[in-house]
Amino acid sequence: MKNFVLLSCLFLLSQNLIAQTVSSSDSLIFAGEKHFKNVKQLSFGGDNAEAYWSFDSKKLVFQFSDHKEVMCDQIYFGAIPKKGKSFNKHLVSTGKGRTTCSYFLPGDSLVLYASTHANADSCPPTPDKTKLKKYVWPVYNSFEIYTADLKGSIRKQLTSNNFYDAEATISPKGDRMIFTSDRSGDLELYTMNLDGSDVKQITNTLGYDGGAWFSPDGKKIVWRASRPTTDEDVTEYKSLLAQGLVAPTKMEVFVANSDGSDVHQITDKPGANWAPSFTPDGQNIIFSSNFEHAKGFPFNLYLINIDGTGLEKISYSNTFDAFAMFSPDGKKLVFCSNRHNGGGHDTNIFVADWVK
């Protein structure tokens, strides 16, 4: 009997390992997802989010938590595995505090991310949504931006103040970074050199401006923004921000020149239109939205021209698809999704060959 139980356990373990090393499967593709091919699920379990490519298209850096051993988000990187191999993640952040929004620097030997670890080793408190009775994001004023090597050693602290500094990404040209800060009293976009010098504010309209990306040629930017206009919305926005909170349920996608000039609103849809990034040719934007669903869920991926025309639905899952980024070589798309998670809450990383 003991041998039977042992063999049964070994069999189940082997099946689990096989499931986690499957290289690709069209069973992960929903009907209508004509731009996806050879979808690979890289992570299995926990909250895996904001997975972004290295400059050489061979690695990903992302944030992960499982609320068991990794209580709040930490930054990891992993190489894209060869067929039949598993995706192995390596801790890059300190393992203390909470982190967010990581990105590779040119050369792919360093990453940047925001962290609260200098303020406290423990996770910062999360908003009590039952009291607020709404979905909100915390904007911790203890977030500072750091660079670290792939072994987890911090190389440089790029910001040092008592304001929210996070959501940084790098220009493909490797000369500037863009990030969000509330140092002006509002959540605005800023650019600076990769060493933290020459900080410039490039947006100045009331509302949350964040999640910005450069175009492939570095000449334009795309980002998500809320634009409260009624007295009620303005009051609510300012009240939440004074508490270190923002409600991300009403957002649109905007495009501008990299210096913040010539701003254009690209989407005009209900709900949250967010997590935008450019296609490799710079002519389109891929973003996530729930505009088709009055209850606010699910989220799917959409493609749109930079002038706001030609909207096309890309993903058709009934859950959550977001954080899409094309590989620099234009061959693959990475995104994070709740698909194929057994009906639970896990968010995992998926990579697909992109079919034009």
pLDDT of 233 reads 97
Please tell me whether the peptide bond between 172 and the residue prior to it is cis, using omega within 30 degrees of 0: no
Smallest CA-to-CA distance from 75 within 63, 85, 86 is with: 63
213-237 tens-digit pLDDT = 999 999 999 999 999 999 999 999 9
CATH of the domain at 168: 2.120.10.30
Averaged pLDDT in 10-residue chunks for the chain of 356 residues: 38 39 67 96 97 98 96 98 94 98 98 98 93 93 98 98 98 96 98 97 98 97 97 98 96 98 98 97 97 92 98 96 97 96 91 96
Q: How many domains does the chain divide into? A: 1
pLDDT of 7 reads 37
**Segment holding 10, helix H or strand E:** helix 2-20
Domain that holds residue 57: 2-354
Residues belonging to the chain: 356
Rounded to whole angstroms, the Cα distance separating 149 from 253 reads 32
List, edge to edge, every strand of the sheet that includes 90-91.
Answer: 47-53, 59-65, 74-79, 90-91
pTM over 0.85: yes
232, two tokens: 């009620």
pLDDT of 66 reads 96
Q: If you ran DSSP here, which 8-state letter would residue 347 be given?
A: B
pLDDT of 25 reads 60
